[in-house]
């Protein structure tokens, strides 16, 4: 079960209000984001393998350790509160002494956590996969990003600087606006009037890479819940928004109604659908492993099956080939996936270029302000955090591979 679904189904969580509710969510997120690193550290502080511990006691220890090591909550508060929680929770009510002893040691011996590489937050197979694809330093930078609480970014129809002032937010160099932590989204100015929508700053880059879209016929493939469709429409395109999921398209309809933007919504498999006439441009946000969004969905690292990841490149290749059929000669396509794995991004595109179907149109630094550190030698973009210090101001976001192509 996803973290948000689990919280929504929790009666105790539902009873919380205000700062207590926010802190409970922060604890859950921090525990899941750093789970592998927490477990490896706790294993040095207990006298038995973690898999042989009582499951309830281990769960409480993980939560307490996350408060100490990840959220850096003062020990006097986190230890006492966690021990009390163990005593009040029936499955763990006999473990208070153990929890107290281990967490006090965890506070004294913080180096057992601090000295472990950040990439230990993931299962071993995933850490190895990411290190192989990105290199160890970049994988550690990605892990450090995952440990941070995700920001809430919005895309605005116009004048991001003005909206940043109005919302007491920060205008990013890329044109997105970053809201203050904990901002009540639906209650903010402009939400009900549809002046903006929630969209990660990295995700918002893809739709900006086509140039002038006024009056052009554009398809947004795998479009729901519709952030990129809204962008394309706001830029003046005639948008056909395709998705195979009717429930997700219902969310898109709601977003279009609220923002008073227009698009033709089509429930169809993008691998099979074809337009009546060739399109000017296509945005393909292909289904993927979503490993670039783990700070928002931290349980995902532990729910992924390494064997099932093999299905994504096949689907992505099929969709890229379908997009080639839909596009007019010389038309442009922006390929986007929210994963750093090269086999789901650059390698899919390289195969199409090698076949002669596509040619790359390199992305330039001035097109992606705040993300220039992520440009590759080929002119593709990966919105992963920089390794070490970067000379230019950079924006932290979810991790996307974004590649611009032209039909050969």
Per-residue pLDDT tens for 104-117?
999 999 999 999 99
pLDDT of residue 16: 87
Tell me if 302 sits within 8 A of 271, measured CB to CB.
no
Chain centroid to CA 290: how far? 7
- Residues 241-255 have a mean pLDDT of 94
pLDDT tens, 273-318? 999 999 999 999 999 999 999 999 999 999 988 888 999 999 999 9
> Widest CA span of the chain, in angstroms?
71
- What whole-number distance in Å separates Cα of residue 341 and Cα of residue 334? 17
For the segment 154-169, the average pLDDT, to the nearest whole number, is 97
Q: Which of 115-129, 349-363, 382-396 has the lowest mean pLDDT?
A: 382-396
Is residue 134 very low, low, confident or very high in pLDDT (cuts 50, 70, 90)?
confident
When pLDDT is cut at 50, 70 and 90, the band that residue 391 belongs to is: very low
Per-residue pLDDT of 65-83, as tens digits, reads 999 999 999 999 999 999 9
Identify the active-site residue in 222, 288, 336, 338: 338
Question: Mean of the per-residue pLDDT values for the chain?
Answer: 94
Say if residues 95 and 57 touch (Cβ distance below 8 Å): yes
- In contact, 250 and 244? CB cutoff 8 Å: no
Asked if 289 and 339 count as a contact pair (C-beta separation under 8 A), the reply is yes
For the residues 259-264, what does the mean pLDDT come to?
98
Give the model's confidence band at 211: pLDDT under 50 very low, under 70 low, under 90 confident, else very high. Answer: very high
The mean pLDDT value for 40-58 works out to 95
The fraction of the chain above a pLDDT of 90, given in percent, is 84
pLDDT of residue 102: 97
pLDDT of 147 strictly over 80: yes
pLDDT digits (tens, 9 = 90+) for 280-289: 999 999 999 9
CA 393 to chain CA mean position, Å:
21
> What 3 state SS string does the chain have?
CCHHHHHHCCHHHHHCCHHHHHHHHHHHHHHHHCHHHHHHHHCCCCCCCHHHCCHHHHHHHHHHHHHHHHCCCCHHHHHHHHHHHHHHCHHHCCCHHHHHHHHHHHHHCCHHHHCCCHHHHCCHHHHHHHHHHHCHHHHHHHHHHHCCCCCCEEEECCCHHHHHHHCCCEECCCCCEECCCCCCHHHCCCCCCCCEEECCCCHHHHHHCCCCCCCCEEEEECCCCCHHHHHHHHCCCEEEEEECCHHHHHHHHHHHHHHCCCCEEEECCCCCCCCCCCEEEEEEECCCCCHHHCCCCCCHHHHCCCCHHHHHHHHHHHHHHHHHHHEEEEEEEEEEECCCCHHHCHHHHHHHHHHCCEEECCCCHHHCCCCHHHECCCCCEECCCCCCCCCCCCCCCCCCEEEEEEEC
Q: What average pLDDT does the segment 210-231 reach?
A: 97
Least reliable range by pLDDT among 139-153, 339-353, 380-394:
380-394
Pairing relationship of beta strands 401-407 and 381-382 according to DSSP bridges: antiparallel
Model confidence at 394, in pLDDT bands (50, 70, 90)?
Answer: confident
Mean pLDDT of 191-218: 97
What is the pLDDT confidence band of residue 253, given thresholds at 50, 70 and 90? very high
pLDDT at 393 over 80: no
Confidence (pLDDT) at 378? 97
pLDDT at 182: 82
Specify whether the CB–CB gap between 402 and 336 falls below 8 A: yes
Cα dihedral 92, 97, 98, 100 sign:
positive
**pLDDT band per the 50, 70, 90 thresholds, residue 392:** low
Which has the higher per-residue pLDDT, 222 or 390?
Answer: 222
* Whole-number Å distance between alpha carbons of 192 and 259: 8
Average pLDDT over every residue of 161-173: 97
Q: Are strands 327-337 and 279-285 parallel, antiparallel or unpaired?
A: parallel
pLDDT at 389: 53
Backbone φ and ψ of 361, nearest 5°: -120, 95
pLDDT exceeding 70 applies to what percent of the chain?
99
Residue 387 has pLDDT above 90, yes or no: no
Residue 386 reports pLDDT greater than 90: no
Examine the residue annotation and report whether 222 is marked as an active-site residue of this protein: no
pLDDT band of 20, cuts 50, 70, 90: confident
């Amino acid at each position: 079960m996803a973290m948000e679904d689990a919280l929504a189904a929790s009666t105790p969580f539902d009873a919380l209000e205000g700062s207590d509710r926010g802190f409970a969510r922060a604890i859950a997120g921090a525990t899941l984001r750093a789970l592998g690193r927490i477990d490896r550290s706790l294993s040095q502080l207990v006298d038995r393998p973690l898999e042989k511990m009582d499951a309830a006691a281990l769960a409480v220890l993980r939560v307490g350790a996350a408060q100490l090591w990840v959220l850096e909550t003062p020990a006097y508060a986190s230890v006492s509160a966690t021990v009390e929680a163990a005593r009040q929770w029936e499955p763990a009510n006999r473990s208070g002494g153990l929890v107290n002893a281990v967490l006090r040691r965890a506070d004294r011996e913080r180096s057992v956590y601090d000295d472990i590489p950040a990439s230990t937050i993931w299962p071993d197979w995933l850490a190895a996969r990411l290190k192989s694809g990105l290199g160890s330093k970049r994988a550690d930078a990605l892990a450090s990003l995952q440990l941070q609480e995700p920001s809430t970014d919005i895309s605005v129809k116009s004048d991001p600087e003005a909206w940043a002032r109005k919302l007491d937010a920060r205008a990013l160099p890329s044109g997105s606006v970053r809201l203050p932590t904990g901002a009540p989204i639906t209650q903010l100015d402009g939400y009900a009037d549809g002046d903006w929508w929630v969209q990660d700053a990295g995700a918002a880059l893809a739709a900006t890479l086509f140039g002038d879209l006024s009056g052009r016929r554009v398809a947004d493939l795998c479009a729901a819940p519709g952030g990129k469709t809204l962008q394309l429409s706001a830029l003046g395109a005639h948008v056909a928004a395709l998705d195979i999921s009717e429930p997700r398209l219902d969310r898109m309809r709601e977003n279009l109604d609220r923002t008073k933007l227009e698009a033709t919504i089509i429930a169809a498999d993008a691998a099979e659908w074809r337009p009546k006439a060739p399109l000017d441009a296509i945005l393909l946000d292909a289904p993927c492993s979503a490993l670039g969004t783990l700070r928002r969905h931290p349980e995902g690292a532990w729910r992924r099956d390494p064997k099932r990841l093999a299905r994504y490149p096949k689907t992505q290749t099929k969709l890229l080939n379908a997009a080639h059929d839909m596009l007019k000669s010389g038309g442009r396509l922006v390929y986007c996936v929210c994963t750093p794995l090269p086999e789901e991004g650059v390698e899919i595109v390289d195969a199409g270029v090698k076949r002669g179907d596509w040619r790359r149109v390199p992305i330039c630094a001035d097109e992606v302000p705040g993300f220039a550190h992520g440009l590759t030698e080929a002119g593709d973009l990966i919105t992963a955090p920089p390794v070490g210090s970067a000379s230019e101001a950079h924006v932290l976001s979810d991790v996307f591979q974004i590649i611009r192509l032209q039909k050969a």
